[in-house]
Amino acid sequence: MSTTVDTAFAPVTFSEGAAKELYKLKDQQEIGEDYGLRVGVEGGGCAGMNYILGFDQRKEGDQEYFIDGIKVFMNKAHQMYLMGMMIDWQDGLNSRGFTFVNPNATSTCGCGTSFSA
């Protein structure tokens, strides 16, 4: 069963730039209200685990958060890897895209989307 959790207890935060970009993407892709942003992890990548970030429907075992007005789905088991993480948006000459500032990562890959905990 899925649950909705108060934003004050949300495991991740968004920078102002990330929130703006997420709103823009949701609008451009005409994402429906039954979709939310899935934030999670999966095995793989050069450092052992990859971040999951994309719009998806709620699944069994998800918790639902509203962070900066954005509906977020996260599997409860992923929280231990992501607690305290900030998702940022970079839009510069050298890099463009979402970045992850994760205090639980003991090492990260040069690509920025892979980590070990």
The pLDDT tens digits for 22-71 are: 999 999 999 999 999 999 998 876 657 888 999 999 999 999 999 999 99
Q: Average the pLDDT over 88-92 and give the result.
A: 89
Identify the pLDDT of residue 50: 85
114: pLDDT strictly greater than 90: no
Domain range for residue 72?
A: 33-101
**Is residue 40 a contact partner of residue 12, using CB atoms and an 8 Å limit?**
no
How many other CB atoms are there within 10 angstroms of residue 33's CB atom?
A: 7
What CA–CA distance (Å, rounded) separates 59 from 57? 6
Q: Provide the CATH number for the domain around residue 77.
A: 2.60.300.12
Identify the pLDDT of residue 81: 87
Percent of the chain predicted with pLDDT > 90 = 56
**Inside any domain, residue 84:** yes
**Is residue 50 a contact partner of residue 44, using CB atoms and an 8 Å limit?**
yes
pTM for this prediction: 0.82
**Inside any domain, residue 22:** no
